[in-house]
Amino acid sequence: MAYTGHKKDEALFVQRVGMAFSRDLQHWEKLPENPTSVAAARYYEIVSSGQRTLTHWRDPFLLDTGAEVIQYVCARRTEGDESKRGSVGLARSTDMRNWEVLAPPEHDRITEEMEVPQVYEIAGRWYLVFCTHAHWLDPTFVGRFPGHPFRSTDYSMVGNSSLGPFRLHGTGEIMPQAPPCHFYASQLVCLGEKWFLLGTVRDDEGTRISDPLPIAADETGLHLG
């Protein structure tokens, strides 16, 4: 299991990724090699130039390709407009202990932070799923959709491989309208060859995992089915 570790280095809040091991999924041991992956200054900001000053390297998602395991994390690239440096960070490993940090994949840039990034293959297409808050979205992106009520929610992009390039279609929002509760940090689950969305919801009753919502996947992204 990959997890986010936090470290306060003097005045800077640093996020890094560690690995833990279990034989029964109940008792876990952290690897002595931790942290196993950290943001590399060659590709990623060490001190964020965005609204939040920290080292972004969190929310790890692991994809087993057979030959290697790819790790996707929330990060910020070092170049481009500061309002849309939010990116997916990449690392790869063949033993789950030693990780090589890679350059970020090519994808459309729309926000300061791409949280909880994940990649899924569905019917021959690859989908990058992430979430972001409305106040992080790039103003030029928001300006393309006058009057649209952007909110904190889940998005998808479409690619031809697990490493992109990933393209956004329309607003990219998985949910066409705001649900009656806060819906964020969702993940996909395949059950009986059908895909469902499980989201973290928050309302007056508290925070919980949503009921499964059926998902349809096409050339424009992921949508509620």
Q: What contacts 24+ positions apart, CB below 8 Å, involve 140-148? A: 140/83, 141/84, 141/110, 141/111, 145/171
Q: What is the pLDDT, as a whole number, of residue 205?
A: 81
Residue 32 pLDDT > 70: yes
Q: What is the pLDDT, as a whole number, of residue 202?
A: 80
User: Which pLDDT band holds residue 216 (cuts at 50, 70, 90)?
Assistant: very high
Residue 225 pLDDT > 80: no
Buried b (16+ CB within 10 A) or exposed e, 155-192: bbbbbeebbbebbbeebbbbbeeeeeeebbebbbeeee
Q: What is the pLDDT, as a whole number, of residue 203?
A: 77
pLDDT one-digit tens code per residue, 128-183: 999 999 999 999 999 999 999 999 999 999 999 999 999 999 999 998 776 666 77
Token pair for residue 125? Answer: 């297409």
Q: Which residues contact 218 (CB under 8 A, 6 or more apart)?
A: none
pLDDT one-digit tens code per residue, 202-215: 878 888 998 999 99
SS3 content of the chain, % helix, strand, coil (to 5): 5, 50, 45
Mean pLDDT of the chain: 94
Q: If you ran DSSP here, which 8-state letter would residue 162 be given?
A: T
- How far, in Å, CA of 170 to CA of 85, rounded? 20
Residue of 223, 129, 113, 118 whose CA lies nearest to 177: 223
Residue ranges covered by each domain of the chain: 2-224
pLDDT one-digit tens code per residue, 80-138: 999 999 999 999 999 999 999 999 999 999 999 999 999 999 999 999 999 999 999 99
Token pair for residue 50? Answer: 């965005």
CATH code for the structural domain at 2-224: 2.115.10.20
Of all helices (H) and strands (E), which one includes residue 142? helix 139-142
* pTM for the predicted model, two decimal places: 0.95
